[in-house]
Amino acid sequence: MRNIKLVLEYDGSNYHGWQKQPNLPTIQGTIEDTLAQLTKTQIQIIGAGRTDTGVHAEGQVANFHTDSQMPVVAFQKGLNATLPRDIVVCSATEVSAEFHSRFSAISRRYRYTILSREYPTALSRQTSYFFPAAIDVPRSNQLCQILVGKHDFSSFQKTGSDRINPICEIYEICCWKDTSNIYFEIEADSFLRGMVRAIVGTILKWTMNDDAEAHLHRILEAKDRAVAGTSVPAHGLSLIRVRYNNA
């Protein structure tokens, strides 16, 4: 069996997340249906990150096993010719049998995009969160640094999540401004469900408070989702990179 690695870009607006669900459009389900058309066999594809409903990707990684002798480039071209226009295969490569897009990953990096101006946008409304209030970027960066390192991030986990271990290690988190957009980027070894959106929402809530650092420490220590800020909407979030030991 050959092991094929894909790097994917998609607009998640019309999908109920990555993971396949009965009677609902998902990224995984759509790609698997298209692979079945190309190979005439049922193939299961594994994603590096299970992005939620409405979340996008610029650098999602996936892999699948197949006994098809189709050239690798034909997988990329065939998928791109058949998939909906909001899902694109950026690259396709054959990798070792041991490669697993999810379990071989050493980190994932997400970006959250905020449109920070007085009026909304007609062009990027599905990929950025309109937030007309002022955002103090240097202050936001100060708060971000409190979260770097290994912590129990239960306070930032979506209620109802079935993950048992809430410990994650954030390697880097930063905030910067480019014209009218403000970006938050977070890279970690793993993420709890809804974690990035809860972190961004919490920082936006506390940025203007003088005792924000103390509040953020208390939120971490509480291990209780109810004490953190409201999550920002899903459509501003994108999975931009997945890192592996050899790349």
- In one-letter notation, the amino acid at residue 194 is G
Write out the two tokens for 113: 């995009």
Contact 140, 200 (CB under 8 A): no
- Quote the distance between the C-alpha of residue 230 and its chain's center: 18
Q: Which of 11, 33, 52, 162 is catalytic?
A: 52
Spatial distance between the Cα atoms of 90 and 126, rounded to a whole number of angstroms: 21
Q: Which residues of 131-154 are buried (b: 16+ CB within 10 A; e: fewer)?
A: beeebebebbebbbebbeeebbbb
- In one-letter notation, the amino acid at residue 59 is G
> Which of 13, 10, 111, 112 has the alpha carbon at shortest distance from 54?
13
- In one-letter notation, the amino acid at residue 242 is V
> Which of 148, 127, 129 has the alpha carbon at shortest distance from 201?
129
Write out the two tokens for 99: 């490669």
For the question of residue 86 being annotated catalytic, the response is no
Spatial distance between the Cα atoms of 17 and 104, rounded to a whole number of angstroms: 21
Number of Cα atoms under 13 Å in the Cβ half of residue 161: 20
Q: Which residues are catalytic?
A: 52
